[in-house]
Structure 1
C-alpha cells in the first residue's frame, strides 16, 4: 500500500524544526491501515518487534509490504524504492481477527 505524508501534516513542525522527518508512529499508522485494508478493522494491536532503519521525509512515497504469519500476526516492511525504512511484526487480538474472517 503506497503512501506519502504531506508536508503540512500536523506532526511535522515539532519533528524537527527546519528539517522535518516523518515520525515512526506515523509510519506505524500506515502499517495498521494496510493490515486493516487487507483484513478489516481489528483491535488489540501490539508491536512486539519494530526497527526503524532510515528516515522518511515529507512528500516522499513509501510502500507497506505485509506477510501474514498467522490469523492475527503479520511481518511488515516499509520501503522507499529499494530502501528499507522500517520492519517488524504487528499482532492483533486473535478474537478480533477471527471475527473479521
Structure 2
C-alpha cells in the first residue's frame, strides 16, 4: 500500500517548524490501515512490540507499507523507494482480527 502525507496535514505545523517531518505515529497509522485492508476488517487492541525508525519521511514524499504475515500478527516495513524508513511488528487482539 502506498501513501503520501500532504504538506497541509494538521500534524505538521509543530513537527518541526521550518523543517516539517511526518511524525512516526502518522506513519504507523498507515501501517494499521494496510493491516486492516489485508484483514478485511477493523482491528482492535493493537500492540506494537517492536518498532524502529531508520529515516524520516517528509511531507509530499510517497512511501509504501509492506506486510509479512496475516491476522493477528504482522511484520512490517515502510519504504521510500529503496530506502527503509521503519520496520517492526504489529499484533492485534485475537478478538479484533480475522481468524
Q: What is the TM-score with the length of structure 1 in the denominator?
A: 0.93
Structure 1 residue runs of 5 or longer lacking an equivalent are: none
* Aligned equivalent of 2:56: 55
Say yes or no: does 1:12 pair with 2:12: yes
**Per-residue deviation, residues 71-95 of structure 1 (Å, max 9, x unmatched):** 4100000000000000000000012
Say yes or no: does 1:32 pair with 2:29: no
Say yes or no: does 1:3 pair with 2:3: yes
Q: Distance in 1 between matches of 2:31 and 2:80?
A: 14
1:66-77 equivalent positions in 2, closer than 5 A: 66-68=67-69, 71-77=71-77
**Per-residue deviation, residues 28-61 of structure 1 (Å, max 9, x unmatched):** 0000000001102110000000000000000000
Q: Distance in 2 between matches of 1:71 and 1:4?
A: 25
Give the root-mean-square deviation of aligned CA atoms. Answer: 1.0
Q: Secondary structure of the residue that 1:28 maps to in structure 2?
A: helix
Q: Secondary structure of the residue that 1:30 maps to in structure 2?
A: helix
Tell me, yes or no, if the aligned pair for 2:20 and 2:58 is still in contact at 8 Å: yes
Structure 2 residue runs of 5 or longer lacking an equivalent are: none
Tell me which stretches of 4 or more aligned residues in structure 1 moved more than 6 Å: none
Q: Secondary structure of the residue that 1:78 maps to in structure 2?
A: strand
